[in-house]
Chains A and B, each alone.
Chain A
Amino acid sequence: MIVPPSVSKVLDPESQILMSLRLTLWVGLTFHTILGFIDPILAPENIQVILLIRFGGIIPVLFICLLLTYSKKFQALRVFLTPTPALVSSAGFICIMIIAPENEILRISYCFGLFIVVSFGPTLLHLSIPQAVMLCGSTIVGYNIYELTSFEFDSDAKHTTLYIGINVLLACASGLGVYTRYITRRLINENTYSAQIIARERNKIQKQMAVQSQIMNQLVESKQKLDKSFLIRNKLLSLIAHDIKGPLASVKGIVEMFAAGVLTLEELKHHAGRLSQLLHSTNNMLSNLLSWAVMHVEQKAITKENVDLNAIILENFKLVRDVAESKSNKLINEVPEPCYTNVDPSLLNIVVRNLISNAVKFTESGKIIVSATNNGDNMVIDISDTGVGMKAEDINKLFKWEERSSSVGTRLEKGSGIGLLISKEFIEKQGGELRVKSVKNQGTTFSVVLPQT
């Protein structure tokens, strides 16, 4: 069994966004808390307001955002949560700058903060393009509003240069931030895409393998069927070769000798009886084979009808009467009259003929009894004899094509056992069952069980 190579676990984009948002919020919280301690040194004159903005505005908002990332509703809130840390930070910076306009160091350091927000925010927060543009735009616009409302540029050339420089810097940082975000997003997408392709291919391969193993199973099954049918065919051929060629050779030999003048008319007459018996059993076997072949080749359907069992039994008794008498066998019909059963008459006829002639073949100075019982669901036809019987291991071999070989009756009658196999098949075709009970030297009973529904 081939197993497709396993794919290393790739974090899906949703989890990536969640993880980086949480990280950003933690970093932001830590950053603002530390700044809260630096603020008194940088801007001692406006410290209350600055701390209020920081600890009363920025830090609680970031903290709430952080808590919300653990909420089940995160997916629904994501679109608002992702830009919030950066927007709150830049808003906070701008607010502080408005409050402490004269403090040069504070202003420059917060401009640096804004710069960090616009350059790293889009990437860290996995912002979409509109979100990133909104963040950068609002930061730059906020800064400009602050500058334009605070100063008179004409009077201060140095400040004007600083103002333009910071704007250019923020614009560059924004461009860089959006571009970095674009690149990382693309890399992540590609990675995810290839992982998806691999997963899809793996699924496809697994499906194909499942189909293949199914096909393989079917192949094995049909090979077994084929092997069995080959076996049956070979068995049939060798049976035909022996059981039909043999008697034909005898007849041919006698006829040729008579034609060549080796045999006298009296000698021919002497052997005619035996030859006719040989031809009779050969004919019987051929008709068995033919009905079997017709059944298989033409796929003939079963045509069940109500027939009187007695008619079939008496007809077949008539066929074997001479042979039975020559072996001092009594043929007894114990089937109640009339006994109607729902079967395919031609198939049942072959079955009954085979079972009765088998009983006669293996019985000497005994009885062959046919009886029938109908229990409503099933018709059971028993064909029992008081003949040679069988050992348990022989009974097991009876219905196996591969174990069949010529069997010999009490008077060395030839037989292949093929009639029995065909009978079994014909009974099973009608949904029935062939059972056998036998005791060595006491006799055999074949029971044909036919469902009546």
Chain B
Amino acid sequence: MTQKKFMLVDDNETDLFINRKLIEREPFTAGIVCWQSGARALEYLLSIGAEDLPDFIFLDIKMPEMDGFAFLEKLCCIQLLERPKVIMVTSSTATEDIDKANGFRQCGVVDYIEKPLSVDKINHLKNALLLN
């Protein structure tokens, strides 16, 4: 199994901790970067080289200043050698949010997960995405 790099964007410290903790214990994890602000995360993506680009971004929707969708719009616009796959991780189960997220498929959105992340959900993700 190839090693994967992860980026987590969530304004909530506890959720960020939960997500990081669950991902870092997996053997395929090569590295995790966490950001509490979407703007900072974008700055980081622009500043790094191609070899450091994350393979997956776990993105929250409801964030102050720049929410998940604004982040996706910006992400679409920036030139990257390889497009990270985005997994929405959010407490919102509103259909409009899910539909909106599906509209960002061309930006790399591949899945929509309801918070909190758990061992089971990580296993599901592993089978669905990471092993392919």
Interface residues of A (CB under 8 A from B): 238, 241-242, 245-246, 249-250, 252-254, 256-257, 260, 262-263, 267, 271, 274-275, 278, 406, 408, 412
Q: List 12 A-B contacts (CB under 8 A).
A: A242-B62, A249-B115, A250-B18, A253-B115, A253-B116, A253-B117, A257-B119, A263-B21, A267-B21, A406-B62, A406-B64, A408-B64
Interface centre among B18, B62, B118 (most CB of A within 10 A): B18
Interface of A: prevailing SS: helix
> What is the interface of chain B, defined by CB distance below 8 A to chain A?
11-15, 17-18, 21-22, 25, 36, 62, 64, 91-94, 114-119
B22 adjacent to A252 (CB under 8 Å): no
Question: Complex formed: what's the CA distance from A267 to B17 in Å?
Answer: 10
8 Å CB contact of B11 from A241, A262, A274, A412: A412
Q: CA separation between A412 and B15, bound complex, in Å? A: 14
For B15, B64, B91, B119, the residue with the greatest tally of chain A CB atoms inside 10 Å of its CB is B91
Residues of A within 8 A of B13 (CB): 274
Q: A249 contacts B62, CB within 8 Å?
A: no
Contact B22 A262 (CB under 8 A): yes
Interface pair A254/B18, CB less than 8 Å apart: yes
- In the complex, A242→B21 CA distance in Å? 23
Shortest Cβ distance from A409 into B: residue: B64
Known: A256-B116, A257-B18. A245 touches B62 (CB 8 A): no
For B114, list chain A residues within 8 Å (CB). 249
A256 lies within 8 A of B12 (CB): no
Residues B15 and A249 in contact, CB atoms below 8 Å apart: yes
Query: Chain B's nearest CB lies how many Å from the CB of A302?
Result: 36
Supplied contacts A242-B92, A271-B14, 10 more A-B pairs, CB within 8 Å = A245-B115, A246-B115, A250-B12, A250-B15, A253-B14, A253-B15, A253-B118, A257-B118, A262-B21, A408-B64
Expressed in whole angstroms, the Cα–Cα distance for A246 and B11 within the complex equals 11
**Bound CA–CA A278/B115 (angstroms):** 16
- Cα A275 to Cα B17 in complex, Å, equals 12
Inter-subunit contact B119/A249 (CB<8 Å)? no
Q: Whole-angstrom distance from the CB of A414 to the nearest CB of chain B? A: 8
Output the least CB separation between B89 and chain A (Å). Answer: 10
Tell me the bound Cα distance from A278 to B12 in angstroms: 11
Known A246-B12, A412-B11; judge A241-B118 contact (CB<8 A).
no
How distant is A58 from chain B, measured CB to nearest CB, in Å? 99
Name A250's contact: one of B22, B116, B119 (CB within 8 Å): B116
Q: Give the contacting residue for B64; candidates A238, A278, A412; CB below 8 A.
A: A412
Query: Across the interface, which residues of B come within 8 angstroms of A252, CB to CB?
Result: 116
Which of A249, A263, A406, A408 has most B Cβ within 10 Å? A249
Closest to B118 in A: A256
Q: How far is the CB of B117 from chain A (nearest CB, A)?
A: 7
B115 adjacent to A257 (CB under 8 Å): no
- Of B12, B21, B91, the contact of A257 (CB 8 Å cutoff): B21
Closest B-chain residue to A274, C-beta based? Answer: B14
* B62-A278 in contact (CB<8A): no
Chain B residues with CB under 8 Å of A260's CB are 118-119
A246 and B91 in contact (CB under 8 A), knowing A256-B116, A256-B118, A271-B17? yes
Chain A residues whose CB sits within 8 angstroms of the CB of B62 once the complex forms: 242, 246, 406
Given contacts A257-B18, A271-B17, contact A249 B116 (CB under 8 A): yes
Which residues of chain B are near A241, meaning CB under 8 Å? 91-94
Residue of A nearest to B65 (CB): A408
Taking a contact as CB atoms closer than 8 A, the residue among A262, A278, A406 that contacts B14 in the complex is: A278
A275 to B13, CA, bound (A): 10
State the 9 A-B residue pairs at the shortest beta-carbon distance, nearest first: A253-B116, A249-B115, A253-B18, A408-B64, A250-B14, A246-B91, A245-B91, A249-B116, A249-B91
Report the bound CA distance from A275 to B18 in whole Å: 12
Instruction: Please indicate the chain B residues that have their CB under 8 angstroms from the CB of A262 in the complex.
Output: 21-22, 25, 119
Contacts of A271 in B (CB 8 A): 14, 17
Chain A nearest CB, measured from B93 CB (Å):
7
